[in-house]
Structure 1
Amino acid sequence: MILTALLLMQASAQAAQPQVDCENAMTQMDMNICAGREYQAADRELNAVWKKASQRAKSVDKDVGDGTQHRELLAAQRAWLTFRDAQCSFEANQYRGGSIMPLIRSTCLTALTEARTKQLREYLEFPG
């Protein structure tokens, strides 16, 4: 029952989003929507890579016999999330009240999220 309600809420939220051609966004509202979508895609990718990194850290901990790798990775991720959100709020705040503010915030979130995803991928590729 709860799943059905969540699916209905998601479908209704998706239906409420206007159709925007992000390849040819012309209005500020369209650009804001497209930047938000880019951030959502980057965040989904980060979450997928995070799951793998978290699993690897747990595996390393199991092999070594302690819990430090995962604990440190989790602490770093939490600190990074706090930094990312604060940094992007700071950058967007320069445009407070302006229609470009959401674009600036989303662009910042996307850039920092993609950079963090790259860092986590490098951790996954590190031998050992």
Structure 2
Amino acid sequence: MTRWAIICALTCVGAPALAQDVIYSFDATVNCLAEKGEEGEAHQCFGTSANACMETTDGGWSTLGMVQCLDAELKDWDRRLNTAYGLLMKHSKEVDAEMAEWGSSAPSQAEALRKMQRAWIPFRDASCEYERSTWGGGTGGGPASLSCFLHLTAQQAWSLEKNVEAYEAATCNHEGCTE
């Protein structure tokens, strides 16, 4: 079941006509990453904004509140993942072009990145479907599944962002960039 089907199953059937307003900001996660991200503890920050949302939203710890807060942070991580993937793909294509210019027979970085990301998506989906299944059909399965999506997406986004940073640092060291 996709995460959107999970959200609808929890919010479209038997729920009030209007979803509750959640108090959400990605700031808690951004602040946590600024503090812990460079020390290799970024994983401790994944879900921080969703948890803050649940704490500050009236009914935030209800199934509906958890779903809305978790989905809000998931969307932020998904945007970050897509941005990082796009930048990394651009950089990978530049490396591939440079390698081809040199006559290298090295494997394509862009193709390897594409294959890696395409393999990651079904891994994420299967992992989170398994997480949902451990709830035996209970209402906690939706939030558990979304939490899984959030954490795995955040982990992948963070990893891709670190690769982008490494590429840009190497390029600047090579080309003598100044900020």
User: Is it true that 1:50 corresponds to 2:85 in the alignment?
Assistant: yes
1:32 touches 1:100 (CA, 8 Å); kept in 2? no
Spell out, residue by residue over 1:37-86, the C-alpha distance to the aligned partner (whole angstroms, 9 max, x if none).
11111111111111101111111111111771100010001111111111
| Equivalent position amino acid for 2:142 in 1 | P
| Equivalent position amino acid for 1:19 in 2 | D
TM-superposed deviation, 1:17: 4.3
Q: Which residue pairs with 2:133 in the alignment?
A: 93
Q: Which residue pairs with 1:63 in the alignment?
A: 98
1:28 touches 1:99 (CA, 8 Å); kept in 2? yes
Task: State the SS of the aligned residue for 1:26.
Answer: coil
Q: Which residue pairs with 2:21 in the alignment?
A: 19
Corresponding residue pairs, total: 114
Kindly report structure 1 stretches of 4+ aligned residues shifted beyond 2 Å. 20-24, 125-128
Q: Distance in 2 between matches of 1:111 and 1:120?
A: 14
User: Max radius of gyration: which structure?
Assistant: 2
Q: Could you tell me the TM-score, scaled by structure 1's length?
A: 0.79
Query: Which structure features the higher share of helix residues?
Result: 1
Q: Which moved more, 1:27-36 or 1:52-61?
A: 27-36
TM-superposed deviation, 1:107: 0.7
Higher relative contact order (CA 8 A, sep 6+): 1
1:89 touches 1:105 (CA, 8 Å); kept in 2? yes
Q: Could you tell me the TM-score, scaled by structure 2's length?
A: 0.58
Q: Which residue pairs with 1:118 in the alignment?
A: 158
RMSD: 2.0
Structure 2 residue corresponding to 1:108, chosen from 136, 148, 156: 148
Q: Which residue pairs with 1:11 in the alignment?
A: none
Q: Which residue pairs with 1:36 in the alignment?
A: 71
Distance 1:52 1:32, change over 3 A: same
Q: Distance in 2 between matches of 1:101 and 1:77?
A: 26
